[in-house]
Amino acid sequence: MAGEPHPVLDSSLIDEMSIGGLLDESVRLEESVLIRRVEGMIASMLGRHPDADVLVPLALLEVATDENHRSALEAVVDDPHCFREYVFGMVSAVVPPEAPDEVALDDEAQRPCSPGHRRRICNQVSARLDESSEELGRVPRAEVRKAYLQLAKHYHPDKGGDKDMFVTLQTAYEMLQRTDSQGSNAV
């Protein structure tokens, strides 16, 4: 017993763990570079959109929290056209008509989004959501329903509005209406 090496301290195990650790670190580094490239391309593609101040943080938040979005974007990172279509679809934004089909990647897009920057963006999005929730709490539900109805009328496809936006607004209006009718039945 005293002459046998301890299984944890066996040198062959230490060598295997070191090599495996280096390979794991290399894979993690490659993944990190790819994630930063995806984040840079998102910032570049959405940066010229009129609603970039909302869309960029939203897209970065989606990529950070949804594995499916992250892996899908990583798969099309070498095809800017597909990447652009996926990003705009992911945040449900309409591609501006003046946007070129192929967006050139500039120096800004190649700069990685640091974890600190990502945290600041997440905090900003959370603060905006909290503010919106507080404001909605102060407004009577009938007024909110009325606003959704007016927006739905504005975006109605028969009046030349965006069909996707209309469907979204109509669904939200119906949900509010159902919630209110269920609440009044429960009282």
Q: Which of 129, 181, 184, 177 is nearest to 152 (CA)?
A: 177
- For 3-48, the pLDDT digits (tens) are 555 444 455 544 554 455 555 666 666 777 778 888 888 888 888 8
**Distance in angstroms (rounded) separating the CA atoms of residues 13 and 69:** 38
Which of 47-51, 102-106, 112-116, 121-125 is predicted with the least confidence, judged by mean pLDDT? 102-106
91 neighbors 52 (Cβ within 8 angstroms): no
The model's confidence at residue 107, banded by pLDDT at 50, 70 and 90, is: very low
- What token pair was written down for 71? 């892996």
**Distance in angstroms (rounded) separating the CA atoms of residues 132 and 126:** 10
The model's confidence at residue 105, banded by pLDDT at 50, 70 and 90, is: very low
- For 148-159, the pLDDT digits (tens) are 778 888 888 888
Residue 68 has pLDDT above 80, yes or no: yes
**Distance in angstroms (rounded) separating the CA atoms of residues 183 and 187:** 7
* 3-class secondary structure, 69: helix
Say what the pLDDT of residue 41 is: 85
* Domain residue extents for the chain: 15-95+103-137, 139-187
**Distance in angstroms (rounded) separating the CA atoms of residues 58 and 124:** 10
Say what the pLDDT of residue 98 is: 54
> What is this structure's pTM?
0.39
Say what the pLDDT of residue 104 is: 46
- What token pair was written down for 153? 């009328």
